[in-house]
Amino acid sequence: MKAYIFPGQGAQFSGMGKDLYESYEEARKMFTQADEILGFEISKIMFEGTAEELKQTKVTQPAVFLHSVILNHIFSQKEKPDMVAGHSLGEFSALVACGALDFKDALQLVSQRAMAMQKACELQQSTMAAVLGLEDETVEKVCADIEGIVVAANYNCPGQIVISGEEKAVLEACEILTEKGARRCLPLAVGGAFHSPLMEPAREELAKAIETTQFHQPFCPIYQNVSTTAVTKPEDIRKNLNAQLTAPVKWTQSIQNMIKDGAASFIEIGPGRVLSGLVKKIDRNMEVGKPEL
């Protein structure tokens, strides 16, 4: 069985999607539609913008989503996935890929998500850090024992967890985790504490938009960040998406469940190869690759 996986924020690069725009009429139509929906020329920023311009939250999230969804639209005409998953923002690309969300509705949600997260980031000094070389339980216990808000936010692969929360609490956690034997504890250049309780204002704002968006029956299961198991009912998809911004991204568990359910190969659709590397660390015997158009 083939699994399609979709990357999240951080995978963007200058010039992304330009090859698709130049080669495919359908891609040109989708980029033009996106410019109209968003009210600015995101295509121009994607093709010609600097790394700094692409780092703006209102640009980054729609840009990664657009690249992934347009690439999937072209590639999936050859073959359809048997299951899908997306890392954080990538879950929206996966929802379009399995037919649970329409392109236009998903793009609007992604844009609203980016704006809501930006606002939440400005409310409090917060950050994230990657912790390498420790057991999940050790990281969770250290976070739980610290006075401020700090939580395990991304379970990327065995021995790689991202923690998220108040700046002071994250730095304190990093000190303790280093003492406990972490190979590295690396602060990330992010705008705030994604997938932590500090995103609650953004979650509430996005929840209103999710509630008024139509979800469809997907043609294949999606393994969502919150549930980690195969989801096919629109009401369950909506509920999991509602919880996503403040809940951890359980990527390791999702990939393990996809393998258990029969995934024999993973195709990473979108910019970069980060997820391919994570899948290999979760199960080195897995076949991983990028779409060949």
- Positions annotated as catalytic residues are 88, 195
Q: Give the number of other CB atoms < 10 A from CB of residue 173.
A: 25
Q: Give the number of other CB atoms < 10 A from CB of residue 53.
A: 15
Smallest Cα–Cα separation from 31: which of 79, 65, 76, 80? 65
CA 27 to chain centre: 22
Contact 265, 2 (CB under 8 A): yes
What are residue 84's DSSP bridge partners?
Answer: 4, 222
Cα gap 290→252, rounded to integer Å: 20
